[in-house]
Amino acid sequence: MTPAEAGAVHAAALVIDAHVHPSLKTYLFRRKLDKNHRSGGAFNPFTMRVDFPKAKAGGVDALVSSIYLPERGLLDDCTALKLLAKVSPKRIRRLFTGDPFERTIEILDDFEKAIERANGGGAELARVVRSTEEIHAARADGVIAVLNAVEGAHSLGGRVDNVEKLWSRGVCMLTLAHFYANDSAAPVVGIPPEMQKLGCFRQPKNLDLGLGLLGPPVIEEMIRLGMVVDLTHCTPKARREAFEICGTRRPLVFSHVGVQPLADDPMSPTEDEIRRIASTGGVVAVIFMNSWLGEHRSRNGLDAIIATISRIIEVGGIDTVAIGSDFDGFTDPPDDLEDISRMPKLTEALLNAGFSGTEIEKVLGLNMERVLRAGWR
Ligand SMILES: [Zn+2]
């Protein structure tokens, strides 16, 4: 299979990345979305791995852009960040004060303005969409579809009725947990060991904790309205409880993970969980980050992504896998897939591994599209 043949398969496919964080870079560092930034393989917090020229070059049709409000626990947990926050612009210091929901909406507004600015040059590069129909319409126009999502239910500021406010803004998915326990769910350790040497994230995590008091009503509200429940970062106990509550009423997802036993960590879903996700019609979307794809501290790569995709298919079937790169989430991506422009290399590797065109279409986007059709109103 030549790169040109693979390119044709890739171009024909609907490609959806189920978890990216360009809004972190536009908000914190004022990066421009219409500029083609330099990326590079290793961990580098200041690079930009998802901008519109790169997404276009990578043949990516839709980005699920996750808004992350930095958690206040970070300041207590990380001396370096605390010092950095003190000298950072007011705009950033502000995030750690006041109502978390309001701050989340401010980041969301700021990101949508960054998209408008990127489109200001004349040609429409990207647009925020609010339905799967709008994803297809954007694709037909040659415009990148951006879907808003939120990472961490701390953003709800302790109020279940804020779920409806996010939903009415078109937010398609909420990741319940993140780095610190919130009212809805308790987290696993969300930072790989090699990144903990930064002197941060030392707060112990209690895997005996599950959903918080707000977890069940938040999940019920998301099911009622039509917003996808993302179990990434939740403790195994919180995941079990969420499966119980949801049953098969809506698709449940992991939006950016590796899987056990390849990545032997409580962060990674087990085989039983992959089957449960399959039973809801959901997906397990594969993260592009070395440390969550295999043994911690190893340099994994495209091979590990293919192995993870294959494992999910073996256990849950071809309809259960998707991609959620986590690009721009301060990750350490594989050297051979360091930013979103490299996405065609994934298709080439899948073809070389013996996947059919139909299977590849499901992995790249059709499965995630199905989840959004069933889970997002
Ligand atoms: Zn995450």
Please give the Cα distance from 146 to 142 (Å, whole number). 13
| d(CA 331, ligand 1 centre) in Å | 9
Concatenating the DSSP letter of every residue in 183-197 gives: SSB-B---S-HHHHT
What's the CATH fold of domain 3-375?
A: TIM Barrel (3.20.20)
142 Cβ contact list (under 8 Å, min separation 6) = none
Please give the Cα distance from 347 to 357 (Å, whole number). 9
pLDDT for the residue 332: 83
Please give the Cα distance from 38 to 41 (Å, whole number). 10
| d(CA 232, ligand 1 centre) in Å | 7
pLDDT for the residue 290: 86
Please give the Cα distance from 346 to 363 (Å, whole number). 10
Q: Per the structure block, which two tokens stand in for 37?
A: 């930034």
pLDDT for the residue 92: 86
| d(CA 59, ligand 1 centre) in Å | 23
User: Where in the chain are the domains?
Assistant: 3-375
pLDDT for the residue 191: 80
Return the C-alpha torsion angle 328, 332, 337, 340, nearest 10: 0
Tell me the pTM. Answer: 0.96
pLDDT for the residue 56: 96
pLDDT for the residue 198: 62
pLDDT for the residue 197: 63
Summarised one tens digit per residue, pLDDT across range 310-350 is 999 999 999 999 999 999 988 888 888 889 999 999 999 99
* Nearest one of 15, 37, 11, 46 to 330, comparing CA atoms: 46
pLDDT for the residue 83: 82
| d(CA 5, ligand 1 centre) in Å | 34
Please give the Cα distance from 242 to 237 (Å, whole number). 9
| d(CA 141, ligand 1 centre) in Å | 31
Residues in the chain with pLDDT < 70?
Answer: 41, 196-200
| d(CA 152, ligand 1 centre) in Å | 8
Q: Per the structure block, which two tokens stand in for 266?
A: 């409580």
- The values of phi and psi at residue 277, to 5°, are -60, -45
